[in-house]
Amino acid sequence: EAADKGQYRHYMLKEIHEQPAVVQRTLEGRLGQQQVLSSAFGAEADALFKQIKAVQIIACGTSYHAGMVARYWLEDLAKLPCQVEVASEYRYRPVVVQDSTLFITISQSGETADTLAALRMAKELNYLASLTICNVGTSSLVRESDLALLTNAGPEIGVASTKAFTTQLVGLQLLTLALAQTRGTLSAARVAELVAGLRQLPNKLEEALAMDTVVEQVSQRFAEKHHTLFLGRGTQYPVAMEGALKLKEISYIHAEAYPAGELKHGPLALVDSDMPVVTVAPNNELVEKLKSNLQEVRARGGELIVFADKQAGLHDEEGCSVIAMPHIDDILAPILYTVPLQLLSYHVAVLKGTDVDQPRNLAKSVTVE
């Protein structure tokens, strides 16, 4: 059944559309009335969570981007210092482990060679414990970690990861809230608000999927381009990184992500009519700053495409197209804003006629170095 594309032309499109259902599944059995059930992370989780003083996250590819989002969440909501690093770097350098640090791996397959090697190395160091956020229950990462949270996204066939990423984010938000509860860093009211927000997420994701036609139209403006920039700030910076990764993976268009504030420190020099700039979830203030930055290159044809909250009051203007997003709590926004970026790269790839599900040179699971 999982190997059936159903009504969809590609696995990737099918998996994008599965997101409301699989996010629902990731949440199932893990929420109480107004709180996250820390038992979702195992019977010993609560006692362990009380001792954590810092977090180290390790992953590769798309899973690394999920970790980047989690860093903003863990520091903001659970007040835990957090470092995130790609496994292939971490495993080859001497590291300093802070007292009472939780070691977290994030992986769709649970078999990525570098991530597994990093976990094995970490077990020789003085980490407090290891936890994996993983999609495959029988995988090496799950077997070898002290604690595991399964993302329950079901088999992902498309090489470009989609539903695995959004369910990882949901798992990481559950972890952040569980830690915030234990540590008392959020009010019960705020936890209840975010829990309610998580419950509404499948519906919000449906709304984002309904933007497909609009996004498909926008994709036509990318098919002939050779370079693109993706910008975001805060948790939306890793969303921009993931958007850029999706576009390069399946459409072979060069895409780079930058934290929005860095535009003027270099990449602005590249912006011309061949380089559209995609911006995710900016508040008004950020868009105003970007517009004034881009003013300088407007004469050279610079074009800004903005995904923004429909309540932000932004409108299209010369050289700047605004695509309205459903309103959502800022904390949960990265999960939602990922969807139109997935659709964008999908449609660009279809227009370019590339092999969407099997991009050249890439593998679904990199089990050798």
Binding region for ligand G6P (CB under 6 A) out of 73-81, 88-96, 107-115, 226-234 = 107-115
Binding region for ligand G6P (CB under 6 A) out of 55-63, 76-84, 176-184, 262-270 = 55-63
Answer for which of 38, 115, 176, 182 binds ligand G6P (CB under 6 A) is: 115
Output the smallest distance, CB 116 to ligand G6P, in A: 9
Output the smallest distance, CB 363 to ligand G6P, in A: 6
Beta strands in 36-185 (DSSP E): 54-59, 82-86, 101-107, 129-134, 147-150
Tokens coding 208 = 């984002």
Cβ-in-10-Å burial (0-12, 13-18, 19+) of 47 comes to exposed
280 touches 240 (CB < 8 A): yes
Q: Which is nearer to ligand G6P, 109 or 342 (CB)?
A: 109
366 binds ligand G6P (CB under 6 A): yes
Q: How many residues bind ligand G6P (CB under 6 A)?
A: 15
Answer for which of 60, 70, 77, 297 binds ligand G6P (CB under 6 A) is: 60
346 touches 251 (CB < 8 A): no
88 binds ligand G6P (CB under 6 A): no
Binding region for ligand G6P (CB under 6 A) out of 67-75, 104-112, 178-186, 330-338 = 104-112
Q: Which is nearer to ligand G6P, 135 or 219 (CB)?
A: 135
20: left (phi over 0), alpha (psi -120 to 50) or beta: alpha
Q: Which is nearer to ligand G6P, 115 or 342 (CB)?
A: 115
Residues paired with residue 278 on neighbouring β-strands, in sequence order: 230, 305
66 binds ligand G6P (CB under 6 A): no
Q: So which residues are the catalytic ones?
A: 364
Which DSSP category does 317 fall into?
B
What is the rounded CA–CA span in Å between residue 168 and residue 66? 7
Q: For residue 182, which amino acid is it?
A: T
What is the rounded CA–CA span in Å between residue 103 and residue 118? 10
Note the residues at the interface with ligand G6P (CB under 6 A). 60-63, 107-109, 112, 115, 159, 161, 362, 364-366
